[in-house]
Structure 1
Amino acid sequence: MILVLGGTGEARELAAVLTARGEHVVSSLAGRLADPVLPDGEVRVGGFGGVPGLTAWLAGHRPTAVVDATHPFAAGITANAAAACARAATPLLRLQRPGWTPGPGDDWRWVADLAEAAAVVRGTAFLTTGRQGVGAFAALPGRVLVRCVDPPTEPLPPGATLVLARGPFTVADELALMREHAVDVVVSKDSGGHMTAAKLVAARELGIPVVLVRRPPLPAGVPVVGTVAAAVAWLS
């Protein structure tokens, strides 16, 4: 059995490849989305109960390995996985897609967290940081465009327009949305991948700056790969 801590496109792709090879895969989803895209194989939804709960699960089920393929900003889950796997002596791999890199014409401003992002934003902001943490922008004045998959539970800025949508998004769609709302700045986490990268291309074409939140550090001592193929090779 292989436990995949999932919720990302890479996690679903890995589960599909391993299941097709005849592996018993258990994918664990946090359960934060109302209508998640389910991977192939066995699926469990909900937390383990922190490090003690995950350690107990590993001891009871004895998977051959754990692959942490959660979102690059799911720092709590990643830290718990590292601690629990160390306690249970279970091999752990971190599968994390590479972050974005700026190209010619990009105007990117890097910040440490959402609070710093909120402090540097000027004008009409397009928030694409997800529903968690949107409260950091609650005091922003003026117009704010907020896009996420599910409605946020945290307070929105008083001038917010909420758009509920799931990627992938096209450059044409992003250009139309930014023009419609007269966006002055795009705010994003450095999630990486192609699913939501079109907003960066659209910002470049419109000459709009992008405020990018840096990724949290990874636990020390855990091997990291950036592709599903590399994860499959490690498991083999």
Structure 2
Amino acid sequence: MADQTAAGPRALIVGASRGLGLGLAEQFAERGWQVTATQRSASPDLEQLAERGVRIETADIDDDMSVAALHRRLDGQTFDLVFVVAGVATESDNPLHAVSRAVSAQVYLTNAVSPILFAEAFADTLAPGGTLAFMSSILGSVALNEDGGWENYRASKAALNTNARSFAVRHAERDYGILLLHPGWVRTDMGGAEADLDVETSVGGMIAVIEAFAGRRDVAYLDHRGETLAW
């Protein structure tokens, strides 16, 4: 990780308008990181973090022009962490055959393709020894899929894992690590009220994993406790 001076390390949290992204932006700021957080549309909850020094930007990872504009606005900045959190779970409760082709395609685009395109655009902003992180899920593990369900979402996260490993091969000479994180089952709009973890606990765990991972240059698929998941 870059020198942690009084100014603190830098993080770019992509998709921080609510839930886990918002929690990450808040806790990183509390820990002294310089945080830039993105929203797709105005988020009053995220805007409140501006009072704590969080820089707020608007960008849509599904829009190449929006991503390019964000890159221009952040020109010259480097980050110890770029964490692509943004994702969707549209009609996740429906079996694949009951989901329209259009919805399936959009879930795949947002969850599996757009994060990689964003990473390609922002790879040059990562500081040596930094981390490129993607919000994955245990549901993206093909080996651990014994219960089925969430078919479209599962497939998109499995594709994200595969695409991230392909990204790593293309960038074999990189000087940063690549981390795919499972946050646990969290009580958010996506996870639902019956989930095991609150946002604070999940986020605290993920930050500990990220800080421990700093300086590595490999690819890892870990949960919020730092345990390795089967691909």
Fold match (TM-score > 0.5)? no
TM-score range, shorter chain: 0.3 to 0.5
Q: Normalising by structure 2, what TM-score?
A: 0.44
User: Which is greater in Rg?
Assistant: 1
Q: Normalising by structure 1, what TM-score?
A: 0.44
Greater per-residue helix proportion? 2
